[in-house]
Amino acid sequence: MNDWMWRQSAEQAHTAMAAADRLAQGLTSGWRPEAMQVPVHLPSGEGCFAQENAQVLQYLEGDGTYAHKTSIGFGFVGLAMTVGTVIGNQSRKRRAMEEAAARFRPVDGGRMYLTNHRFALQGQHQWIDLWFEDIRMSSCDAACVYLTMGHIPPVALRVWPAPYHFTLYRWLAHGQIVHAGQPPAIGPGGSGG
């Protein structure tokens, strides 16, 4: 499990999937959500259908630098210090390579507004608009909605309950009613297509 992933129990995953299933059942039976009032300006024709706190993660590489240390000594103590330094350098290099590997990394967080046109996030550092027309692929798991965009690295929105927001997004963006079913494995690329 990635270090950024929520630690979720099977019960929490089931609760998240059940919320999505209830939404899908309601949409299937003809129920339609109503737009809600939000404290942000939305253009004419755009309505907000969900708002939650969310964290934005992006699939990025990290910084692979590390401090290479040297040790020069004489005698048995010097030899032990040199061996210890070499082992320490190898360990630091390995950790730096692991840190440099591409993975989902937190980039911002704040209030997410799911509208009939976009995911709008009022982040701590900036506004982030993820327009439906720019999303090429989407999926979810029990913790995140994953979006592959046409112009930026993949994005994960950590929001509760993620399957509910994914189901709502698919209906708003594509008119599709997605039934969550069983909780998929937690991690990038869960189920949903």
> What is the per-residue pLDDT for 137?
95
Is 0.75 surpassed by the pTM of this model? no
pLDDT score of 101: 82
| 90 three-state secondary structure | helix
Distance CA 69, CA 78 (A): 14
φ, ψ of residue 123 to 5 degrees: the values are -80, 175
Q: What is the mean pLDDT of the chain?
A: 81
- Both tokens assigned to 96: 């730096």
pLDDT for 49-90, tens place per residue?
999 999 999 999 865 554 545 555 555 555 555 555 656 556
CA distances from 124 to 15, 99, 143 (A): 29, 24, 21
